[in-house]
Amino acid sequence: MRRKVTKAIFPVAGMGTRFLPATKSVPKEIMTLVDRPLVQYAIDEARAAGIKEFIFVTSRGKGALEDYFDHAPFLEQELRKKGKVELLEALKATNMESGAIAYIRQHRALGLGHAVWCARRLIANEPFAVILPDDVIAAEKPCLQQMVEAYQETGGNMVAAMEVPPEKASSYGVLDVAEDMGSVVSVKGMVEKPAINEAPSNLAVIGRYILSPSVLQNLNKIKSGAGGEVQLTDAIAQDIGTDNTVYGYRFRGQRFDCGSKAGFLQATVAFALARDDLREDLLRYLQEMVQVDKAAE
Interaction site with ligand UTP (CB under 6 A): 11-18, 28, 57, 106, 109-112, 114-115, 132, 134, 259
Least spacing, CB of residue 42 vs ligand UTP, in Å = 9
Q: Are 178 and 188 in contact (CB under 8 A)?
A: yes
Least spacing, CB of residue 22 vs ligand UTP, in Å = 11
Least spacing, CB of residue 214 vs ligand UTP, in Å = 21
Question: How far does Cα 94 stand from its chain's mean position?
Answer: 17
What's the number of CA atoms in the CB half-sphere (13 Å) around residue 244? 20
Closest CB to ligand UTP among 37 and 259? Answer: 259
Q: Long-range CB contacts (< 8 A, 24+ apart) of 226-229? A: 226/192, 226/193, 227/111, 227/193, 228/111, 229/110, 229/111, 229/112, 229/113, 229/114
Least spacing, CB of residue 38 vs ligand UTP, in Å = 9
Q: Are 171 and 193 in contact (CB under 8 A)?
A: yes
Least spacing, CB of residue 27 vs ligand UTP, in Å = 9
| DSSP 8-class letter at 229 | S
Give the span between the Cα atoms of 92 and 243, in whole angstroms.
41
Least spacing, CB of residue 259 vs ligand UTP, in Å = 4
- The helix or strand, by DSSP H or E, that contains position 39, with its residue range, turns out to be helix 38-48
φ and ψ at residue 221, rounded to 5 degrees:
-95, -15
Q: Are 184 and 247 in contact (CB under 8 A)?
A: yes
